[in-house]
Structure 1
Amino acid sequence: MLKARILICDDEEGIRRYLQKLLQAKEYEVETFADGASLLARLEGGTDGDADMLLQDVRMPDMDGIEVLKRAKKLRPNLPVMVMTAFGTIDSAVDAIKHGAYDYVTKPFPKEKILGVIENALELDLLMKENRVLKEELNRTDTPDNIIFTSEKFRAVYELTLQVAASDANILVLGESGTGKELIAGAVHYNSSRRGKRFLSINCAVLSDTLLESQLFGHVRGAFTGAITTQKGLLEEADGGTLFLDEIGDVSAAVQAKLLRVIQERSFIPVGATKSKSVDIRFVAATNKELEKEVQEGRFREDLYYRLNVITIDLPPLRERPEDIEPLADHFMKKYSRRIRKEIKGFAPEALQLMHGYRWPGNVRELENVMERAVILTRGDVITAEVLPIRQREPAAPAADNRLISLEHIEREHIERVLRQTGFHKSRSAEILGISRKTLDRKIAEYGFAIPGQSGSSAGDPDA
Structure 2
Amino acid sequence: MIPPGETQIVFRSASQHALLEKLTKIAGTNAEVLITGPSGVGKELYAAYTHNHSQRRTRPFLAINCSNLSSHLLENEVFGHARGAYTGANASMGGIVEAAEGGSLFLDEVDTLPITSQAKLLRFIQTREYRRLGETTLRRADIRLIAASNADLDQYVRDGLFRKDLYYRLRVVPVEVAPLSERPEDIEPLLEHFTVRYAEEYQLPRVRFSEAAMRRILAHGWPGNVRELENCVRYLTCLQIERPVEPDDLALNGSDMRCTRAASIVEDVDVETEDEPARPVRNGRAINHHGGEGEKATRKSLQEAKQKLIDSFERDYIKRALVDARGNISEAARASGKHRRAFFELMRKHDLNAGNYKADA
TM range (shorter): 0.5 to 0.7
Q: 1:378 aligns with which of 223, 229, 240?
A: 240
Alpha-carbon distance in 2 for matches of 1:301, 1:194? 29
Alignment correspondent of 1:171: 33
Alpha-carbon distance in 2 for matches of 1:372, 1:142? 23
2:141 maps to 1:263: no
Summarize deviations over 1:339-361 as a string: whole Å, max 9, x none.
11112263221221111121111
CA pair 201-141 structure 1, distance change in 2 beyond 3 A: farther
Alignment correspondent of 2:56: 194
Q: 1:273 aligns with which of 131, 135, 160?
A: 135
Q: 2:151 aligns with which of 283, 289, 292?
A: 289
1:387-426 equivalent positions in 2, closer than 5 A: 387-392=249-254
Task: Specify the code of the residue in structure 1 equivalent to 2:90.
Answer: I
Do 2:210 and 2:246's aligned partners in 1 also have CA atoms closer than 8 Å? yes
Q: Unaligned stretches of 5+ in structure 2?
A: 258-320, 327-361
Task: Specify the code of the residue in structure 2 equivalent to 1:357.
Answer: A
2:15 maps to 1:150: no
Alpha-carbon distance in 1 for matches of 2:74, 2:249? 39
Task: Specify the code of the residue in structure 1 equivalent to 2:248.
Answer: E
Do 1:166 and 1:192's aligned partners in 2 also have CA atoms closer than 8 Å? yes
Summarize deviations over 1:410-438 as a string: whole Å, max 9, x none.
xxxxxxxxxxxxxxxxxxxxx9xx899xx
Alignment correspondent of 1:111: none
Q: Which SS does the other structure have where 1:347 is aligned?
A: coil
2:218 maps to 1:332: no
Alignment correspondent of 2:311: none
What is the root-mean-square deviation in Å for CA atoms of aligned residues? 2.4
Do 2:210 and 2:245's aligned partners in 1 also have CA atoms closer than 8 Å? yes
Do 2:71 and 2:117's aligned partners in 1 also have CA atoms closer than 8 Å? yes
Q: Which SS does the other structure have where 2:48 is aligned?
A: helix
Alpha-carbon distance in 2 for matches of 1:185, 1:346? 32
1:45-444 equivalent positions in 2, closer than 5 A: 142-144=5-7, 146-344=8-206, 346-380=208-242, 382-392=244-254
Alpha-carbon distance in 2 for matches of 1:271, 1:209? 11
Task: Specify the code of the residue in structure 1 equivalent to 2:18.
Answer: A
Alpha-carbon distance in 1 for matches of 2:144, 2:194? 30
- TM (norm. structure 2) is 0.67
Summarize deviations over 1:84-114 as a string: whole Å, max 9, x none.
xxxxxxxxxxxxxxxxxxxxxxxxxxxxxxx
Alpha-carbon distance in 2 for matches of 1:255, 1:299? 12
Highest relative contact order (Cα 8 Å, sep 6+), 1 or 2?
2
Q: Which SS does the other structure have where 1:235 is aligned?
A: helix
Do 1:344 and 1:383's aligned partners in 2 also have CA atoms closer than 8 Å? no
Alpha-carbon distance in 1 for matches of 2:228, 2:4? 18
Q: Of the two, which has the highest radius of gyration?
A: 1
Do 1:202 and 1:245's aligned partners in 2 also have CA atoms closer than 8 Å? yes
Q: Which SS does the other structure have where 1:346 is aligned?
A: coil
Distance apart, 1:205 and its partner CA: 1.1
Task: Specify the code of the residue in structure 2 equivalent to 1:361.
Answer: P
Alpha-carbon distance in 1 for matches of 2:160, 2:84? 35
Alpha-carbon distance in 2 for matches of 1:350, 1:206? 43
Q: Which SS does the other structure have where 1:197 is aligned?
A: coil
Q: Which SS does the other structure have where 2:94 is aligned?
A: coil
Post-superposition, which runs of at least 4 consecutive aligned residues in structure 1 deviate over 6 A?
Answer: none
Task: Specify the code of the residue in structure 2 equivalent to 1:143.
Answer: E
Fraction of identical pairs, as percent? 41
Alignment correspondent of 1:11: none
Alpha-carbon distance in 1 for matches of 2:158, 2:250? 42
Distance apart, 1:229 and its partner CA: 2.0
- TM (norm. structure 1) is 0.53
CA pair 340-143 structure 1, distance change in 2 beyond 3 A: closer
Alpha-carbon distance in 2 for matches of 1:155, 1:383? 30
CA pair 394-369 structure 1, distance change in 2 beyond 3 A: closer
Alpha-carbon distance in 2 for matches of 1:362, 1:190? 26
Q: Unaligned stretches of 5+ in structure 1?
A: 1-138, 396-430, 437-464
Tell me the number of residue pairs that the alignment of Structure 1 and Structure 2 aligns.
260
Alpha-carbon distance in 2 for matches of 1:354, 1:200? 38
Alpha-carbon distance in 1 for matches of 2:5, 2:121? 26
Distance apart, 1:338 and its partner CA: 0.7
Alpha-carbon distance in 1 for matches of 2:152, 2:132? 31
Summarize deviations over 1:295-341 as a string: whole Å, max 9, x none.
12211111111111101010000000111111112211111111111
Alpha-carbon distance in 2 for matches of 1:142, 1:224? 39
